[in-house]
Amino acid sequence: MAIRSTALAFGLAALLSAPAARADVSIPFTRSTLPNGMTVIFQEDHSIPIVVVNVSYDVGSRFEAKGRTGFAHLFEHLMFMGTRRAPTKAFDAWMEASGGWNNAWTSQDRTDYYDVGAPTSLDLLLWLEADRLRDLGPLMTKEKLDAQRDVVRNERRQTSENTPYGKVELRLPELLYPNEHPYHHPVIGSHEDLEAATVDDVKGFFAQHYDPANASLVVAGDFDPRAAKDKIDRWFGTIPSRGKAVDPGAPGFSDTKTTLTSVVRETLEDEVELPKIVMAWQSPKHFAPGDAELDLLGAALSNGKASRLYKALVYDQKLAQSVDAGQDSGSLGSRFEIGVIARPGVSLEKLEAAIDKELEAIRRKPIADEELERSKNLVETAFVMRLEGVRERASLLNMYQAEVKDPGFVQKDLDRYRSATKEGIQKAAEAYLLPNARVVLRVVPKKKGNSK
């Protein structure tokens, strides 16, 4: 994650040079808190004429009650449905008229909204975000809910149910985590829960989670901090707070120890040409010991043609069409996942045995020095590229604020990877990639005549 702007203390060339010469990194910022509890972070960069407004709310799918799955993601859509002052479709129309654009995403842990535009559009971007935080929930109607409920259910069909191998993302969390764990259900929720949602339900969800004390606002790019502060004080600072939502956490569960005590196996039929095997393990939460090591292991296993699994399964043994591996980090725990699509005629039993052989080799012996260096370079390059963009920096500042309460955590984050050793990677693999405590999900072509 690096930057061409002089606002950062390094350049891409410096960061990718020899390890001993690697520079420290930083994202200069200022942080304050409004009287209503909202965090405000400024990150100036006058190198290009662009501004970004990023608003992050501490609400993801793990905050949803049983029977109310999908609400966090549903609100990602409902937040564009209009207020008294900015009616339905006005949010996008006014922003686009000013040359700007916006988007949003929802995870298990957070919901993030971002707006991008020219410096002259900053007042509009700030006003629109403040306006919907103030008024959108109380003005919710059945018509708005019905419209976006249909959109979300159709999104589930298109991206998961009717996409090759898409059902894996729906089923894997349910197999990997017990029913009581907040990560048990997929972010997009179930059709049944979305269909059962009422206007009062979503109004209550908004009142509980869409509160200034539950939000962090980042303004990044080419702007005047003094002028921005005046507008933020006026538009955001006057929104009353009901208090920060209580984080339910995951009582009774460890964020570093697996709840699995055996191998959980399942086979899914899907509209696919080739079978696929997916293995998943519970792994340490974001920023915990072992998290960075497993991230590096994912790169060593599947990034590039020289990676362990690609070379063994695709090139040498010709068992697989493609391989993927990586650490999906979360606030309450993470998921290490391997996905391999078989070549025509190759059985999943043979493919599983070949994967297990490679994993056992890593548990028994550290990866080679060149594998470690290549993995570090891959991860660090991705890190650098994220810092190249104003929008990406704004998102990082909010992520660090949400997860470690320190927007300036970027150097410590990068140091986790720089200080990782091949012995540490082996230790993490031994501790977490257990052959007898994992999920093995097989996806096979649907049998002809089976419409289920």
What string of pLDDT tens digits covers the 452 residues of the chain?
222 232 323 233 333 333 444 778 889 999 999 999 999 999 999 999 999 999 999 999 999 999 999 999 999 999 999 999 999 889 999 999 999 999 999 999 999 999 999 999 999 999 999 999 999 999 999 999 999 999 999 999 999 999 999 999 999 999 999 999 999 999 999 999 999 999 999 999 999 999 999 999 999 999 999 999 999 999 999 999 999 988 888 888 888 788 999 999 999 999 999 999 999 999 999 999 999 999 999 999 999 999 999 999 999 999 999 999 999 999 999 999 999 999 999 999 999 999 999 999 999 999 999 999 999 999 898 888 888 899 999 999 999 999 999 999 999 999 999 999 999 999 999 999 999 999 999 999 998 766 55
DSSP-H helix ranges across 199-311: 199-209, 225-235, 291-302, 308-309
Nearest Cα neighbor of 411 from 6, 55, 9 is: 9
C-beta separation of 8 from 27 below 8 A: yes
For residues 400 and 382, give the distance between their C-alpha atoms in angstroms, rounded to a whole number: 17
Whether 333 contacts 253, CB under 8 Å: yes
Predicted confidence at residue 4, as pLDDT, reads: 27
Q: CA–CA separation, 404 vs 40, rounded Å? A: 16
Please name which of 436, 257, 268, 275 lies closest in space to residue 356, comparing C-alpha atoms: 436
Q: Which residues of 304-325 are buried (b: 16+ CB within 10 A; e: fewer)?
A: eeebbbbebbbeeeebbbbbbb
The sign of the dihedral angle between the CA atoms of 189, 194, 197, 203 is positive
What is the Cα–Cα distance from 31 to 42, expressed in whole angstroms?
A: 6
Half-sphere exposure of 233 (CA within 13 A, CB side): 7
What is the identity of the amino acid at 313? L
CA–CA distance, 332 with 184 (Å, rounded to integer): 12
Q: Which structure tokens are listed for 452?
A: 């289920």
Running DSSP on this structure, what letter comes out for residue 366? Answer: P
Q: Residue 452: what pLDDT? A: 52
Of 235, 239, 238, 32, residue with least CA distance to 123: 235
> Contact at 8 Å (CB) between 239 and 213?
no
Q: Token digits for 269?
A: 């039929």
Q: At what angle do helices 199-209 and 71-78 cross, to 10 degrees?
A: 90
pTM of the model: 0.91
Look at strands 334-342 and 438-445 and give their pairing: unpaired
- What is d(CA 124, CA 112) in angstroms, rounded to the nearest whole number? 18
CA distance 131 to 122: 14
Other residues' Cβ atoms within 10 Å of the Cβ of residue 403: 18
Alpha carbon of 395 to those of 53, 217, 283, 389: distances in Å? 9, 10, 24, 10
Question: Cα separation of 236 and 38, whole Å?
Answer: 8
Neighbours of 344 (CB within 10 A): 8
The DSSP symbol for 255 reads S
Beta strands in 248-364 (DSSP E): 263-270, 276-283, 320-328, 334-342
pLDDT of residue 451: 55
* Residue 339 φ/ψ, nearest 5 degrees: -130, 130
Strand pairing category for 215-221 and 39-44: parallel
Sequential DSSP letters for 204-236: HHHHHH-SGGGEEEEEEES--HHHHHHHHHHHT
In whole angstroms, what is the distance from residue 309 CA to residue 373 CA?
A: 17
- Per the CB < 8 A criterion, the answer to whether 278 and 335 are in contact is no
The residues with which 159 forms a beta bridge, in sequence order, are none
Q: Which domains does the chain have, with CATH numbers?
A: 30-237 (3.30.830.10), 263-445 (3.30.830.10)
Neighbours of 289 (CB within 10 A): 13
- pLDDT at position 246 is 87
Instruction: For residue 33, give the H/E element and its range.
Output: strand 30-33
Q: Which two tokens mark 106?
A: 């929802």
